[in-house]
Every structure is written in structure tokens, then in C-alpha cells.
């Protein structure tokens, strides 16, 4: 997990911004970058690379312990896209 975060962070100063998996916008500030567990640890998810994606800290907080699918359904009910 730390290796993945370091890769994402290392690209930001070069102007290569990771995309937030939750809102679809670029993450341009290293301080806003966090690791999103698509299936939260609290719901049986792991810290394996296939369960990790970059996200804005604020987006990650809003998602809480929903799974990624639950998040997308939540947005659809609110009439919003990612």
C-alpha cells in the first residue's frame, strides 16, 4: 500500500495527477491524496493493490464505509454522476 501511495504522490509534482476514483476529478494537491479501499477494511476488504485506488481525502470521508458499488448507487439515487 505504501508503495502505491508513493507512486501516486511522486507524479503530482511532475504535473501528472492521479484521478479520484470517487469523483473523477484530478488530485492536484499531495495533502488531499488518500488511498481508497474499494471494499472497506471494515467490510472485509484488504489492502491488496486490486482493492486500492487514489481518492481525495474529502471524497473518501463522504463515502465512509460504503463499498464502491454502494457509493455509485448512492450517487445515482441523488441524481449525480461520479
Q: Global pTM? A: 0.84
Q: Which of 13, 21, 56, 61 lies closest to 38 in space, CA to CA?
A: 21
pLDDT band at residue 82 using 50, 70 and 90 as cut-offs: low
Query: With the CA atoms of 59, 25, 8 and 63 taken in that order, what torsion angle do they form, in degrees rounded to the nearest 10?
Result: 20
Mind listing the domains of the chain with CATH numbers? 2-77 (1.10.30.50)
pLDDT for res 15: 82
Outline where 1-82 has alpha helix (H): 2-11, 57-63, 68-77
Region 13-35: mean pLDDT is 92
Amino acid at each position: 500500500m505504501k508503495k502505491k501511495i508513493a507512486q501516486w504522490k511522486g507524479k503530482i509534482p511532475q504535473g501528472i495527477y492521479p484521478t479520484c476514483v470517487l469523483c473523477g476529478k484530478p488530485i492536484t494537491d499531495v495533502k488531499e491524496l488518500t488511498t481508497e479501499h474499494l471494499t472497506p477494511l471494515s467490510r472485509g476488504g484488504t489492502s491488496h493493490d486490486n482493492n486500492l485506488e487514489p481518492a481525495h481525502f474529502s471524497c473518501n470521508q463522504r463515502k465512509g464505509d460504503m463499498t464502491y458499488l454502494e457509493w455509485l448507487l448512492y450517487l445515482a439515487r441523488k441524481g449525480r454522476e461520479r
